Structures are given as structure tokens and as C-alpha cells.
Amino acid sequence: MLSKFICVLVILGSLLGSSLAYFITVDAHAEECFFDKVEAGTKMGLTFEIAEGGFLDIDFRIVGPDGAVIHQGERESSGKYTFAAHVPGVYTYCFSNKMSTMTPKVVMFNMAIGEPPKPEENGEGESATKLEDMIKELSGALASVKHEQEYMQVRDRIHRSINDSTNSRVVLWSFFEAVVLVCMTVGEVYYLKRFFEVRMVV
């Protein structure tokens, strides 16, 4: 029983370790591409979020081994796309910042790759793989929770940056209004003083 428990922990650790989120910086007028080789029928899931840079948008595309574009988007700030590999080979996913003139973009992304489909087994093998299937399902759920936490952290950082920027602008505008108000008050006092001043005729 103890050996089965240790085996479960090892499998969970290996599966969770292979589904880490990555941060990359895509410079202006640049494109970053990544590759994964999978078998036909393997489930793949790409999730990404723009953490910093410009208007928090980027172009991306997913291309199959046959050159067919599976999915593409323009000026998107986040996305989550799941698909099954239609043919075996190398799948390419690219993040393009070519529309930006000078601002680099920081992208957090993750490509979750499932297990390739297995041939159907008869009664004896079915019971032997039930525990393995349950472990994979549990590890997938844990990985999903971990990814959601990472995206919440990125969103929190983005919203904090927006709040700080808004707060600094409000403070500057309030300071500007105070200066204008003081200048207007001094000007009105000076004008009224001159208006009621008695002029002596020599």
C-alpha cells in the first residue's frame, strides 16, 4: 500500500512539474515561437495572459505540422484554447509583437499536453489502468487550479499597476487644481484691491 502511495506521489509530481507557466518577453517588431511534438489525437491546451507592456495585447497563432493554422488571434490580452492533434508531428505556437513600434510585451503562457490515446484494452487490462486514469484526472485538476492561481496573480499585478497609475494621475490633477485655485484667489484679491483703491488727484 505504501509503495502505491509513493508511486502516486511520483506520478503527480512529474505531471505537475511538466505543466509550469512560462514568462517570456517579446520585443517590438519581434516574434517568439515554441514547438511541441505530439501524436495524433493528443489533447493540447494553450493558455496565455499579457502581464506587461503597451495596451496589454499581442498577436498569436497555432500551426499544425501540415502548415494548417489551427487558431489565430490579433491584439488579444488573454486566451484559452483547447484542441486535439489531428495529425502526428510538431505543433507550433507563436506570439507576435510586430504591430508594436517600441514597447516589448511580457507574456505568461502554458501549453498543457495530455497523454496520447491508448489502444482499447479488454477486461483484464481495464482494471489495471483504472487507478492510473484516476491519478491523471486528479493531476489534471490540480494543474488547472495551479494555472488559475498563476493567472489570478498576473491579473492582480495588472490591476494594481492600473490603480497606482490612476491614483498618481488623480494626485497630480488635484495638485494642479489647487495651484490654479490659489492663483485665481490671489488674482481676484489683487483686482478687487485695485478696484476699490482711492486715487488721489494731484
User: For the chain, which residues make up each domain, given as ranges?
Assistant: 2-157
pLDDT 10s digits, 114-159: 777 776 655 555 666 777 777 877 877 787 777 777 777 777 877 7
The class that CATH gives domain 2-157 is mainly beta
Q: Which position has the higher pLDDT, 35 or 158?
A: 35
Averaged pLDDT of the chain: 79
Q: Would you call 93 exposed, middle or buried from its count of C-beta atoms within 10 A (0-12, 13-18, 19+)?
A: buried
Cell of 109: 503562457
Q: Would you call 77 exposed, middle or buried from its count of C-beta atoms within 10 A (0-12, 13-18, 19+)?
A: middle
Q: Which position has the higher pLDDT, 197 or 78?
A: 78
pLDDT for residue 17 is more than 80: no
The pLDDT of residue 15: 42
Q: What band does 32 get if pLDDT is binned at 50, 70 and 90?
A: very high
Distance CA 151, CA 153 (A): 5
Length of the chain: 202
Q: In what helix (H) or strand (E) does residue 191 lie, and over which residues does it extend?
A: helix 130-195
